[in-house]
């Protein structure tokens, strides 16, 4: 169920977007002492690999203790779909799907102290891809049935083309990925909730389980769990029955900020960031928009949930620029833009508070700078990088100039500067 931020071919991207109902940590106990979905397939011998599972004998392909045909028929009826029932595989992993169960990490997340992850726990998990559903049962019967329903919902989402346009290319930014995954997974959680209410209402709804798991998880896992939790909240607020799910994808938010508060956030402001590195040892490696949901989660590592939520509210846009020098050192400038000066104040104060409570090496290489009344930059990197960065706001454009971090040869004319433009979420880098 958890999609990973990795470079994928279109086919594998589709598979991971439809990844099943999983969670990387064992959540608080639920009804009758049961556990909700676990990140990994049921634990076995440590030496067992995906190849071993692929080559397993027919004993590993067993039936679930339920009528999967009846479950499919009910889900298809709920969703008003005539899609063909997918093949069901139990305790088997599709070739190439291992990445769906790998924890998400990045150097920037590490720099924000947001990579902590709990050991994987037990619990039922699942995976869906076009034409096939995979379930790894390891929990109460109701939980197994919920996960199967969730995966069948994904199969119908795909077969009915609810988000077909999204599968043609990978998301362009972190914010776009979190939004798309939230709407996809939130839709499947909604269907599982409706099914649960009809068939075993005494058992916790999948959305309740996702909320409990999200609240209990460290930041690294919250980045994976957030789409299920916040996506389900959004879908529950938008529709009243599973047959209305296509409406979620016909008219939807364009940022996670809009998803979190549909009535309070206009589209992002398309922040304009220009980067100058021609006289520097540093070069631009990539740009990204992180978004309000990501900002909330990474603030939550040191702050309370309410403090992080308040500090991320009022997000208008952001632009992350990642740099690398000739020696392979990494550095970052994360420029954030806010709806008001008060919102910018709140973020700057929250990030400073976050830094004050950290003792890791990255914290000593991080500073917060105010660019203008509504713009705050976070500079992360070695001393020579931070001292070279000059960030200014000019006529609505944020200019990041690294100046020169190397001594210029005597009696030579500096090369004409060639700005690198990073504009909005779809920035391209030129040099």
- Alpha carbon distance 253, 258 (integer Å): 5
Beta carbons within 10 angstroms of residue 86's beta carbon: 21
Residue 328 dihedral angles phi and psi, to the nearest 5°: 90, 5
The strand pair at 366-372 and 87-90 is best described as unpaired
Q: What's the confidence (pLDDT) of residue 1?
A: 39
Q: What's the confidence (pLDDT) of residue 45?
A: 37
Q: Contact 248/239 with Cβ under 8 angstroms?
A: yes
Beta carbons within 10 angstroms of residue 394's beta carbon: 10
Q: What's the confidence (pLDDT) of residue 102?
A: 59
Q: What's the confidence (pLDDT) of residue 75?
A: 98
Q: Which residues are paired to 324 by β-bridges? A: 283, 330
Q: What's the confidence (pLDDT) of residue 104?
A: 63
Q: What's the confidence (pLDDT) of residue 405?
A: 53
Q: What's the confidence (pLDDT) of residue 103?
A: 54
User: Can you say whether residue 189 is alpha, beta or left, with left for phi > 0 and alpha for psi between -120 and 50 degrees?
Assistant: alpha
Return per-residue pLDDT of the chain as tens, 431 residues. Answer: 333 222 222 333 333 444 444 433 334 344 333 333 333 333 333 333 434 434 433 333 457 889 999 999 999 999 999 999 999 999 887 776 666 655 567 899 999 999 988 876 668 889 998 899 999 998 899 999 999 999 999 999 999 999 988 888 889 999 999 999 999 999 999 999 999 999 999 999 999 999 999 999 988 889 889 999 999 999 999 999 999 999 999 989 999 999 999 988 777 788 999 999 998 999 999 999 999 999 999 999 999 999 999 999 999 999 999 999 999 999 999 999 999 999 999 999 999 999 999 999 999 999 999 999 999 999 999 999 999 999 999 888 999 999 765 443 333 333 333 333 333 333 333 33
Which residues, 6+ apart, have CB-to-CB distance to 423 below 8 Å? 270, 271, 272, 273
The domain locations on the chain are 10-252, 272-423
Strands of the 272-276 sheet, one edge to the other: 390-394, 397-401, 272-276, 420-423
Q: Which residues are paired to 397 by β-bridges? A: 272, 394
């Amino acid at each position: 169920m958890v999609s990973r931020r990795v470079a994928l071919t279109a086919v594998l991207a589709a598979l991971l977007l439809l990844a099943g109902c999983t969670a990387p940590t064992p959540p608080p106990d639920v009804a009758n002492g049961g556990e909700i979905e676990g990140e990994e397939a049921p634990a076995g011998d440590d030496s067992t690999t995906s190849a071993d599972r692929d080559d397993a004998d027919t004993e590993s392909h067993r039936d679930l203790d339920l009528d999967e045909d009846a479950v499919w028929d009910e889900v298809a009826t709920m969703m008003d779909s005539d899609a063909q029932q997918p093949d069901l595989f139990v305790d088997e992993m599709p070739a190439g799907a291992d990445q769906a169960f790998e924890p998400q990490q990045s150097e920037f997340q590490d720099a924000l102290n947001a990579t902590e992850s709990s050991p994987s726990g037990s619990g039922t998990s699942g995976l869906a891809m076009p034409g096939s559903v995979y379930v790894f049962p390891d929990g109460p019967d109701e939980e197994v049935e919920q996960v199967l329903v969730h995966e069948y919902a994904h199969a119908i989402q795909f077969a009915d083309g609810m988000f077909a346009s999204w599968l043609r290319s990978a998301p362009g930014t972190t914010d776009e990925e979190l939004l798309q995954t939230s709407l996809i997974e939130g839709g499947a959680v909604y269907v599982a909730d409706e099914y649960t209410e009809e068939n075993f209402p005494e058992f916790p709804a999948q959305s309740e389980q996702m909320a409990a798991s999200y609240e209990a998880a460290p930041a690294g896992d919250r980045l994976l769990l957030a789409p299920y939790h916040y996506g389900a909240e959004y879908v529950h607020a938008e529709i009243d029955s599973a047959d209305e799910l296509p409406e979620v994808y016909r008219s939807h938010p364009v940022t996670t900020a809009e998803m979190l508060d549909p009535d309070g956030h206009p589209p992002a402001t398309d922040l304009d960031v220009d980067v100058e590195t021609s006289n520097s040892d540093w070069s631009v490696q990539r740009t990204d928009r992180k978004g309000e949901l990501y900002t909330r989660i990474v603030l939550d590592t040191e702050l309370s949930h309410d403090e992080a939520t308040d500090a991320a509210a009022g997000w208008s846009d952001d632009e992350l620029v990642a740099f690398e020098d000739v020696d392979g050192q990494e550095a970052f400038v994360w420029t954030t833009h806010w709806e008001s000066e008060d919102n910018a104040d709140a973020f700057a104060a929250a990030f400073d508070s976050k830094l004050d409570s950290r003792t890791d090496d990255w914290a000593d290489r991080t500073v917060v700078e105010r660019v203008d009344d509504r713009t705050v930059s976070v500079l992360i990197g070695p001393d020579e990088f931070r001292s070279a960065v000059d960030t200014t706001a000019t006529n609505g454009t944020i200019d990041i100039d690294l100046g020169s971090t190397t001594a210029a040869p005597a009696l030579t004319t500096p090369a004409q500067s060639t700005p690198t433009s990073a504009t909005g979420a779809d920035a391209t880098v030129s040099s």
